[in-house]
Structure 1
């Protein structure tokens, strides 16, 4: 049995550059941006782009999958900080804020994914994120800081309804207003 050969370093770099450029180009120009423009922004030939991603749907799905993986990594890092002694409510709140800020730039990519009918891809990253967020919630509940009825689905609902089209000051205000709904504490006065 032959083992699959690891991709060449330049191929890995090209793929990463293509994914970054695709996210930036879709964000800047919308879901109709052409593959030629994405290739140019990545500094690769269009043939290189198509070798990695035969269709735009494949490319957009990969960009969305990379976003989901970053969210899962962030959730697991937050959980690791809680395990090391950080307060679960603080980490959950900070995680929520980071995901909302990341969603501001990835909003156009998500719109493109919906328009093309793509799925995020690897469900393992979604599962990783969900498990880490669930553990953050359980720890916060055990600490007496998070309402006992808060679920992972509640956090996802907050992500989906966040004012990502608003200015940073409005997003920060939104977070200040919604966090008390997750907690057992009264809202701090402004």
Structure 2
């Protein structure tokens, strides 16, 4: 029994080291970092890494749980301020978009988390729903207040934030946010026709 407990403790320590190294490397370099590099940084053999995480996708998803919690907390806190009457939904929406863009510029793990939330839905339903539900409530309340265009959906938000120039300098990111957020404004009652010209 003592040997079994020792083996389980060793396995738990190895798993923790792998996840810590994966989070650190993904934060700095993004998801393209190799599993061999992660294993080396964790001080374990590649085979040990694969025993815990059979695929790179499994490893990345596990490593990003902390970033997912952070994203959900930020979004829920914004909604809570609206629900408590502390600030308008559109104001919180703008601030949340800016937080997302500027945090993603510094933290590749945060950007990857938000992208996967929007595109791949690899996380558990409960975790995923926290951020998605709070974001949807913000959009709906801003529309009810008459501050956001009624045609905007949460999928539109994901689409545009996914395209954010997070690798650009601060001035460029701010410029992009200004242009992007203007498109959500209820003052724009008619959307321009973005279809190609018949001659093109």
> Normalising to structure 1: TM-score of the pair?
0.70
> Structure 1 residues 22 and 178 mapped into 2: Cα distance closer, same or farther (>3 Å)?
same
Cα deviation for residue 65 of structure 1 reads 4.2
Q: Which residue of 2 aligns with 1:79?
A: 79
Cα deviation for residue 151 of structure 1 reads 1.1
Q: Which residue of 2 aligns with 1:56?
A: 56
Structure 2: tracts of 5 or more residues without a match: 1-7, 189-200
Q: What CA RMSD, in Å, does the superposition of the two structures yield over aligned residues?
A: 3.5
**Superposition misfits of 4+ residues, deviation over 6 angstroms:** none
| Structure 2 CA distance for aligned equivalents of residues 109 and 146 of structure 1 | 25
State whether residues 18 and 39 of structure 1, in contact with CA within 8 Å, keep that contact through their aligned partners in structure 2: yes
State whether residues 104 and 111 of structure 2, in contact with CA within 8 Å, keep that contact through their aligned partners in structure 1: no
The number of residue pairs the alignment matches comes to: 171
> Structure 1 residues 79 and 143 mapped into 2: Cα distance closer, same or farther (>3 Å)?
same
Q: Which residue of 2 aligns with 1:96?
A: 97
State whether residues 64 and 120 of structure 1, in contact with CA within 8 Å, keep that contact through their aligned partners in structure 2: no
State whether residues 146 and 184 of structure 1, in contact with CA within 8 Å, keep that contact through their aligned partners in structure 2: yes
Q: Which residue of 1 aligns with 2:68?
A: 68
Q: Which residue of 1 aligns with 2:177?
A: 175
1:133-173 CA distances to partner (integer Å, 9 max, x unpaired)? 11111211222211111111111111111112211221111
> Normalising to structure 2: TM-score of the pair?
0.67
Q: Which residue of 1 aligns with 2:23?
A: 23
> Structure 1 residues 80 and 18 mapped into 2: Cα distance closer, same or farther (>3 Å)?
farther
Equivalences for residues 29-178 of structure 1 within 5 A: 31-35=32-36, 37-39=37-39, 41=41, 45=44, 52-84=52-84, 85-104=86-105, 105-106=107-108, 110=112, 120-178=122-180
> Structure 1 residues 34 and 77 mapped into 2: Cα distance closer, same or farther (>3 Å)?
same
Q: 88-97 or 24-33: which moved more?
A: 24-33
State whether residues 141 and 147 of structure 1, in contact with CA within 8 Å, keep that contact through their aligned partners in structure 2: yes
State whether residues 21 and 41 of structure 1, in contact with CA within 8 Å, keep that contact through their aligned partners in structure 2: yes
Structure 1: tracts of 5 or more residues without a match: 1-6
| Structure 2 CA distance for aligned equivalents of residues 89 and 109 of structure 1 | 22
1:67-123 CA distances to partner (integer Å, 9 max, x unpaired)? 333222211111011112212111111111222233333279849x99xxx862213
Cα deviation for residue 131 of structure 1 reads 1.2
> Structure 1 residues 21 and 169 mapped into 2: Cα distance closer, same or farther (>3 Å)?
farther
The 3-state SS of whatever aligns with 2:183 is: helix
